[in-house]
Amino acid sequence: MLVKDYYTTLGIPPSATQQEIKKAFRKLALQYHPDKNNGNYQSTARFTEIQEAYEILSDVKRREEYHYQRWYIRSAGQSFVQRSLTPVEILAESRLIKDYIDSISIFRVNYDLISGHIRQLLTDTTIGILQQQADTTLKRSVIRNLLHATTPLPLRYQLPLNELFLRIDANDKEIKESIATALQRKKQREQWDRYKWIVVVVLTAFICWLMYAIAK
């Protein structure tokens, strides 16, 4: 169960009244509203989180359900899910995806699931955050982690993801080269997978002929 800490989002205690919830929302919404932040993607993402928190906590029934979920998370010793609002958090999420791929067998990889995880991370908002605020080293690290995560994916899954990777910084030569290198390796691997059985059959036939010729 993934639960966000909406009270922390609004900066209020769990005992806050409906009036205090509304007051906190209005203050934060005014601060982070996209119209006041000139297309700042990080502010837009923060505004979305604030809206979501207010929608849950301002509804009595949904707030009651949320309290149960919150209690369950705490009693189970789990942590609240974090927001990917900063470049550092986006980097951390990319590392988690990479580590997940390293932890499973290539025969158990769900292509749609992995591709979906990467798409969920690289939304227009998070890409915008990386474009606006992340340093070059961090952006390169995000790309390297996600390229590593795509290693088991077929070419048809890789191509659309490459377009997302390039949007992070299409002017960075190292990023472009990393993407191009990964793409070339995948093409070579798929070409080998397509023809390796022919090579195996031919090689087997040659060995059989050679053994027959020696036996004569």
With a cut of 90, say whether residue 24 has pLDDT above it. Answer: yes
With a cut of 80, say whether residue 168 has pLDDT above it. Answer: yes
C-alpha angle with apex 155: 136 to 115, nearest 5 degrees?
Answer: 65
150 within 8 A of 161, measured Cβ to Cβ:
yes
Q: Please state the rounded mean pLDDT for residues 120-124.
A: 87
- Residue 147, both tokens: 């390229």
How far is the C-alpha of 185 from the C-alpha of 199, rounded, in Å? 20
pLDDT band at 34 (very low <50, low <70, confident <90, very high): confident
Q: So what's the pLDDT on residue 199?
A: 63
- Residue 142, both tokens: 């995000």
Please give the full DSSP string across 136-204, using - where no structure is assigned: HHHHHHHHHHHHHHTTTS-HHHHHHHHHHHHHH-TT-HHHHHHHHHHHHHHHHHHHHHHHHHHHHHHHH
How far is the C-alpha of 140 from the C-alpha of 86, rounded, in Å? 15
pLDDT band at 179 (very low <50, low <70, confident <90, very high): very high
Query: Which range among 31-40, 72-81, 84-93 shows the weakest confidence by mean pLDDT?
Result: 72-81
DSSP state of 125: H
Q: So what's the pLDDT on residue 83?
A: 62
Which residue type is seen at 144?
R
How far is the C-alpha of 26 from the C-alpha of 143, rounded, in Å? 37
Which residue type is seen at 176?
K
- The residue ranking higher by pLDDT, 192 or 48, is 48
Smallest CA-to-CA distance from 149 within 176, 110, 203 is with 110
Average pLDDT, the chain: 86
pLDDT band at 137 (very low <50, low <70, confident <90, very high): very high
Instruction: Assign 90 to helix, strand or coil.
Output: helix
pLDDT band at 110 (very low <50, low <70, confident <90, very high): confident
100 within 8 A of 145, measured Cβ to Cβ:
no
With a cut of 80, say whether residue 70 has pLDDT above it. Answer: yes
